[in-house]
Every structure is written in C-alpha cells, then in structure tokens.
Structure 1
C-alpha cells in the first residue's frame, strides 16, 4: 500500500535503485548484501520503498517499507486525507475491542473524557499495540487502513493528536487509575510483578527529566517509569513516573505506599534484583507484604550461602526441577544480622549453563596459551588477566 503524500527520494550512496516496470518507476533500497561462497558472488537484497512521482523526479510516494527503513525521515506535517483504504485491517481491532468491552474501559474513560477524546484515546492505545509504535507522525497512516473508535471513524491529524496528549491532565490520569483499581478484588491473594526502566530524553526543559543512571547512557537526562502487573489475572494495575535521579531502591518504597493507598492487602511482589536492599525488605515487612526477589549473587551474604551449600544438591535427582532444567535447594537463614526472622533462600544450579561457562573458560585459556607461546624465551610483561590462570 502506498501512502497518499510525497517525500524526497532518499540520498543514500550506492543503496538506491530506480527500476521501471510498465509506466511506473519504483524506488528500491538495498538493505543488505549476501555472499554466496559457491558462486563467489555477492547478491544485494533490495526492497521497494516507493514509486517515483509523475511530476517531480526528486519526489516519490512512499510505502510502509519506507517508514521501516527510514524512521527519521521528514514527513509532511499535514496530510490531506479525506478518504480511507478500500481494504481495512480489522482482525486485531476486533480482538482488542472485545477486551475493552470486557474491562469496561468505555465506562471508566467516560468519567474523565468526552466522547471525541475518549474515542481518540482508545484509538491511540490500540494504534500503539497494533503498529508497535507510538509516534504521532505515523498515526494518520494507521487510520488510513484500520477501523477506529472515534465517532463515524473520523481521522485526525498528527497535530490534533499532539494537542490532545498535551491536554490530558494529571487529575484525569490519577482519576482513571483510582477507578481502575477500585474494581479489583482486595480479598483475593494476588502477585504483582513490578519493574521499572528509564528513557533518554531530548525534549528539552521538562521538570521530571534529570541526569541519573540510564541503562543506555547517551549523555542525555532521563526519566524513569514503572508498571505494576497482576501476574495471576494478567492485568496491569498501575504505572508510575519518577525523576531521572531516583534509583530502583528508592522507587520501590513509593510504589509500596501507592499499593497500600489503593487498598491492596493480600498481595505478594515479584521483584528484580535492582530492588534488593535491607531497607526495602524491612519496608515490605512493615507493610505486611510477602515477596519473591532476585538477590545479587556476589553480595557477601549470598556468596557465603552458595559456597556453604555447593556440592550438596547439584547432582541429586531429588533436587531436580525438570520443567526448568535446573537443580534447586531451599534453605532458611537470616537476611542480615538484626533480622527478626529467618527467610527462605532458593538456590538453583543449571548444568547446561555450567557446561557452557566451562567451555568458554577452556577456550579462553587455550587462546591465552597460544598467545604465551608466541613469546617463549622472550622478555615481556602480561596483564593481571593472565595471572588468574598462569604462574608467570
């Protein structure tokens, strides 16, 4: 499907090819090259990204492949779109519409948005799921060949989308989360899987954006966001956003207060090792929440427990957990010196992982051995990496 606007033909040296078929000139992009050793020839792999304009040889009408391989290309800000494709992609839309109905999202959102805004809100949510993209500039292309929730399936421009997103208030977001969590069964035991991540931000002066500890450091300020998820019912419960300077350990206590404020009592948390600290453990005890948390294996306590139990369970069939291909053992021990109760520590050992790591070490030692032999009977200094395996 070709989009109903024109863009400049990309100028990528040696990658753009023009192929004429009948009376149409197609623009092809070479995205890879594959070498065939039997024929001793390199074959280019190309994909059509558009067709040349009839009036201007510098412009072309793009397709979805163009958006895939040139996501940062400059697109027209406004698109004169008054028609819709003759073929709509409805399958995933029907599934998501059924889920929306079962979750009563129309009733909940109707308390905080008007009919137009609610339809656009749902369309943006469904767009992000179906297209796996949340860029407003591509939303009009999505509306061209997908059914919509807006009244009479009205199509809105990317500028209207941005205006709508800017108009959403904190009160609307908070109100939605409050109403959504009010419908939960507080008497049912649930397990919440909770994790957070951060995003680099280039949007300029935003209050919550700060320099912190990003997972991918691009030298930009970041913001943090987190999602709490009910693992049993497979439903998201609430989300949070934090300034970029806050670490995972500090975030957890804010989240526990929020869960308590929503009225959750009989819950357990499944947490990553980034939240492991004595303060967080004590805080969860104070709130009366149970938890399963991955610990940092090289911390003094954990390392000590592993060494004490090494060799006691790794080869015993009674300790085999067939479903996961590991051997396991549970022990009881205090987490820290002043701990008021013993905790359950679950130790696991993977034979396949041990084998892979052993092969990796053997290959490393063999490579280092060959390197050492090159300097036999010569004077040379070697780094500390060699001293770990060799007596120099």
Structure 2
C-alpha cells in the first residue's frame, strides 16, 4: 500500500488516496485500487481525512487505543544512549516534525534505518535485524530487507520536495549555502542516469552525479539532487535556480566552486538576484589583467591576514551582463557591480610547485614508457614536445616557456562575488564549502554509498533520501563536535560508542529503568547541545 496524490486542475485542490496493488487474474495484469483519504493542506502538507475515510477507519479498527505509552509485554535490555541523542537532534532541528508531516505512515521506519546507517558504520542493511534486537529505535520492530526495499520504493518525488521546502524554511535567511557535486559509481546497466562521465576520483566505472546544498553556518544539508553521470558541474546552475524558485527559497546566498564558473552562469545568478561567492580561474582575461597589475602590491604586509596565512585584496569591477529576451527577440546588455578578490598564500605556492613537479614527472614517465592515458592526452602535448626518429630514437623535450608561465601563478587564487568585498570574509565563506566535500566523504565511506547497490530507479531514489536523512544527523553531530573541540579527545565513532553503552531495561512488572549515565557521558550530551537522558525527558 502507498499514498498517491492528485491535483484537481480546476479547483487546484490536492487529494490523497490509498493505492493498493493487486493481480487481476482475468486480465492477467497488475491493477490498483484507490481509496480517497482526504485533502492535502497546501501550507503544512498534512492530510485532512474525509469523514467517510475516518468512519471506515473506525469500522476497520473499532478498538483503536488512545494515544499514550505502549504497554510492555516483554522483558528486555537494550542499548539506548545513541538513539536518545538522535531523538533529541530530530526535535531540535525540526527534522522529525518535517518527516512526520511529509511521510506520516513511514517516517519512523526512515528514522530507524537512518540511525542504523550511522551507528553501524559500513554495514549493509541485511544486518539491521540483528542490530534492532539490541537497540531502542523509533520504529521499534524489525525491518527485513524486503520491507526496506518496499520503503525505498514508496518514497516519491512530491513528498521529497515538500520535505526540502520545510527544511529550507528553517534555515537562516542570511546564511550562505554551499553547493557542490560528487560522483557515485555503479555497475548497474538498468539505471537510466548511470553514464560515463568525468569521475573526480579517477574511477573508470559509469556513474551518477549527486548535488548537495549545505548551510554554511548551520553545517546541515537540506537539499540534494540526482543527476546523470555525464552532466558537468557548469551545466547545473540554471536548473538549480529554477528549483530554488519551485521550493520558494528567497534571497539565497550561494558558495560555488570554480567548476561552476561560466559567463552564462554568472549572468543567471544576477538575473535571479542571487548573492554569490565563486572561485574563478586565473587564466580568465579580466582576472589576468588585474593580477598582473597587483601582483607586487598583493604581497605587502598591509594585505597579510595571519589567521589565514594569506595575502588578499579586493578590486571592484564591472560585470558585462547579458540576458537573452526571447519574447523581444533581443539580448539585454548592461553592467553589474562585482568584486574580484585575489590572494597569495606562500604555503600554497610551495605545495603547487611540489604537485606540479610530481605531475610533470608522471607525464614524462608515461611518455617514456609509451603508456599514454586517455584523460591526460591534452597535457602531454601542452607540456612536452615528443619526437621519434629511427636514428636518434625517442626524444622528450619539456616546453620550458609553458612551465615558466604556470609557475608564475603558484600560490595565487581568486574569488568573484557580487556582495562580499572584504577579502577575508569572502575567503572564510568560500572555505566553508569544505563541509560539502566532507559530507560527500561521509556519504561514501561511513554511510556505505561508494557503490550503488540497488536494482531500480525507485529503490535508488528512496535509498538516497534515507541516506540523506542520516547525513543530516551525522552532520549535526560533527558540527557540534567541532564547535566544542571534542575531536581533540574523541573520534566520531568513539563518541557514539561511548553513548551507545547506556542501557534501558524494560519489564512488565517494573516499567522502564534507565541505566547509569556517567559524568563523562553527561558532558558529551551537554557539549552537543542535548540535555542528558532521564526517564522524564526521554519520552519513555
């Protein structure tokens, strides 16, 4: 059984239906029976049941118990401390409330699987049955592999978008949002968006691309989008702006890696009145002109910021804005104010030189061994002249002028913004995009998503969503640990393991008894912004 939604084109009212699939023996095909549940509240997304549905429900379940504690029928001792932490995070962030509003029938299953993915690092879902027998979790019962697959397939696009809307509205309006894309490899031959593309980890398998949006201040993700594997970063901005509009995100400030830079993308950001900070390549004409003029001034002591170990300055420029107007059949041309922020970091200069030396040596060895790699073809010709004659054999000569020109820019980098003109404020914001890169690492490593192990589009979409929910919890914990400097004494796994030792004993004759909470554990909870557990505040 699943819930589907249909909108009346005339009244614009959205109705929710129970959709039950069955096999029609006469027609020898799958059919579905739909039963009206009620209307969908346009503001909250909650379903308002019809009288007929409420009456039917009571007839089918005439002894529905009143809300309250579930009576205990078994005696058990379960690990509780880490689950309690996630319960409280769900309340503090509004995550549980938003999930319940969007997935009223399945949100507890979603939460339980998310808890499992975080606490059982790198384990497959087939181990959930074992884990849940030893742990308190929101759903409270086993979710076998078949049921988890059904759960993934029941999570549809409309519910996901509604969840993104609700989470986006909880973010600080002035907060910058960091946006980036990663690749996830797959062996699947049936997933439509699995394509060959440029893999950021040099994995030669086909892939999908996954885009994530993070709050720079909160450190929490609240939007993702799955893309075909052959879509490049630079092609995604226009679609992102459209989706901001659909989800009602207003006055958005975005942080973008230089892989998203193109003139058309910057024009699109201006067109949508988006504030931005974006990395730019030093080879761009307008960047090169200013950098050459300011190269010596940049290294003055007055431009040094010791906190960042870098020199920086800002130059106001005019952006040559263009907007195609199909309805008028012309192109609007205008000027927009922008700020070019240029930097020099001596440590980066040394690292750039070491990295380039290693790369050039690798290219040279490839040429010497006759082992050219497809993805390096342009660079072989860029940095070396290769000739071969019967008499002299193979001769590989470095293009010194090209290498010297590259060396000029070791340690330099640049940003572009239409709002931030303080170079170190811009740099601080730009470096915050590292949270997205770390999130991708969490998703692939800790949440076991480096390879997609699903067999259908519906399963992939649903599993991605549940992994995303787990990522929100994981990001909250890591951000709080960083703020409280807990990483000086704890690893993430060690901290969660420490809390997970707290037990809850349940018995029909004795009720619920919370195990010992040590002072060390109380400090951890408090540092994470959570009140330590007790039978009064734990909801048990």
TM-score range, shorter chain: 0.5 to 0.7
What is the CA-CA distance between 1:144 and the residue it aligns to?
4.2
What is the TM-score when the length of structure 2 is the normalising length? 0.48
What is the CA-CA distance between 1:363 and the residue it aligns to?
10
Closer, same or farther: CA 299–262 of 1 in aligned 2, 3 Å? same
The answer (yes or no) to whether the contact 2:128–2:142 under 8 Å persists in 1 is: no
Closer, same or farther: CA 339–329 of 1 in aligned 2, 3 Å? farther
Match of 1:271 in 2: 256
1:155 to 118, 142, 145: 142
In 2, Cα distance between equivalents of 1:248 and 1:259 = 17
Match of 2:288 in 1: 303
Match of 2:115 in 1: 126
What is the TM-score when the length of structure 1 is the normalising length? 0.64
Match of 1:375 in 2: none
1:279-330 CA distances to partner (integer Å, 9 max, x unpaired)?
010001011111000112333433333222211121x221111111111111
1:332 to 286, 303, 316: 316
Paired residues, number:
290
In 1, Cα distance between equivalents of 2:153 and 2:358 = 56
1:237-273 CA distances to partner (integer Å, 9 max, x unpaired)?
3211122222111211111111123223322111111
Match of 1:103 in 2: 93
**Residue 283 of structure 2: SS of its match in structure 1?**
coil
Match of 1:34 in 2: none
Matched, 1:179 2:179: no
What is the CA-CA distance between 1:162 and the residue it aligns to?
1.9
In 2, Cα distance between equivalents of 1:355 and 1:303 = 21
Match of 2:227 in 1: 242
The answer (yes or no) to whether the contact 1:192–1:229 under 8 Å persists in 2 is: yes
Higher percent of residues as helix: 2
2:125 to 136, 153, 159: 136
The answer (yes or no) to whether the contact 1:228–1:239 under 8 Å persists in 2 is: yes
What is the CA-CA distance between 1:335 and the residue it aligns to?
4.7
Closer, same or farther: CA 237–113 of 1 in aligned 2, 3 Å? closer
2:345 to 341, 350, 357: 350
1:202 to 170, 180, 187: 187
The answer (yes or no) to whether the contact 1:84–1:144 under 8 Å persists in 2 is: no
Query: What is the 5 A alignment of 1:72-91?
Result: 88=79, 90-91=80-81
RMSD: 3.4
1:191 to 172, 176, 185: 176
The answer (yes or no) to whether the contact 2:185–2:203 under 8 Å persists in 1 is: yes
Closer, same or farther: CA 212–363 of 1 in aligned 2, 3 Å? closer
Unaligned runs of at least 5 residues, structure 1: 1-82, 369-378
